[in-house]
Amino acid sequence: MSARNPGTTLDLEWISKVRVNTHAVLKRAQHIQGQKIPKKQWQAAWLLKAVTCIDLTTLAGDDTPSNVHRLCLKAIQPVRHDLLRAVDMHNKGVTTAAVCVYPSRVADAVKSLKAANSSLPVASVATGFPAGQTPLETRLQEVRLAVADGAAEIDIVINRTLAITGEWEALYDEIREFREACGDAHMKTILAIGELGTFTNVYKASLVAMMAGSDFIKTSTGKESVNATYPVAIVMVRAIRDYFLCTGHKVGFKPAGGIRTAQESLVWLSLIKEELGNDWLCPLLFRLGASSLLADIERQIYHHVTGQYAAYHELPMA
């Protein structure tokens, strides 16, 4: 993994000065969405890049060891071998970036990946996901247990109440504790942007999360009514850019929730390339949180190779 963000002391003066120009953000988002997307082999190459940045996720109440096992196999071989061979990518080690599961399924995922001789990291949501409304000690313990079971990455949720009411010191302290509980596991901090109210609040929460030592900031749990949107992403990545210019520490970005089509994944890659530059176009600094996105990307690559669209049953989960 990349060099970690050690965090900084909490700079309340910087946070208090934040003002986000909503009109400018919306205009920029519209521009990024309206851009032409690459075609043919260039599109296939970008789509495979998107695959390598996916945190392949299952967060269902009925998750079992067997469907986690299937998910792991799909993460290791995300695109059919014959399709990768057709675009000369069969020996380039194309996998997703990680597998993301609930804490109680971490051991299953670790076991499946180990059995398949894969070094793919397991990410676990924790800290009372998705609402973050359990007692602090319970949330910390959940992080520790997931790490003990072999999670290399922890996706934490912030206590939205603290962000909404502007209790930035309390939020900073809490995230610092989560970072400590993560140990060597990388920490992705979910802001649940759909519940933060304003772009200014999203920017402030992004800054606090980075100052507290987050390795990534992530838009959503996928369980809110508003998830990853392009305007919110612009606000978050500009906070990442400002933090980098101020500290020299690169923090990753993960949009999650509602990202389902290959076309959308291309817009996300374009947004990152334009706002943060090529350095961020890699799984060390950019992830897409998704469960159904991969199926659509594989269909598009099938179409590129064969000229036809596959039925979903022709591209099974594993």
Asked if residues 59 and 102 have their Cβ atoms less than 8 Å apart, the reply is: yes
Q: What is the pTM of this model?
A: 0.97
Q: Coil, strand, or helix at residue 286?
A: strand
Q: Name the DSSP letter for residue 104.
A: G
Asked if residues 215 and 187 have their Cβ atoms less than 8 Å apart, the reply is: yes
Catalytic residue among 188, 204, 218, 250, which? 218
Q: How far is CA 277 from the centre of its chain?
A: 17
Asked if residues 55 and 123 have their Cβ atoms less than 8 Å apart, the reply is: yes
For the chain, strand residue ranges (E) read 54-57, 98-101, 122-126, 153-157, 186-190, 216-218, 252-254, 288-290
Per-domain residue ranges of the chain? 12-314
CATH 3.90.650.10, applies to 12-314: no
Residue-by-residue pLDDT tens, the chain, 318 positions: 558 999 999 999 999 999 999 999 999 999 999 999 899 999 999 999 999 999 999 999 999 999 999 999 999 999 999 999 999 999 999 999 999 999 999 999 999 999 999 999 999 999 999 999 999 999 999 999 999 999 999 999 999 999 999 999 999 999 999 999 999 999 999 999 999 999 999 999 999 999 999 999 999 999 998 999 999 999 999 999 999 999 999 999 999 999 999 999 999 999 999 999 999 999 999 999 999 999 999 999 999 999 998 877 888 665
Q: How far is CA 167 from the centre of its chain?
A: 25
CA distance 143 to 149: 10
Catalytic-residue membership of 74: no
Catalytic-residue membership of 204: no
Q: How far is CA 53 from the centre of its chain?
A: 8
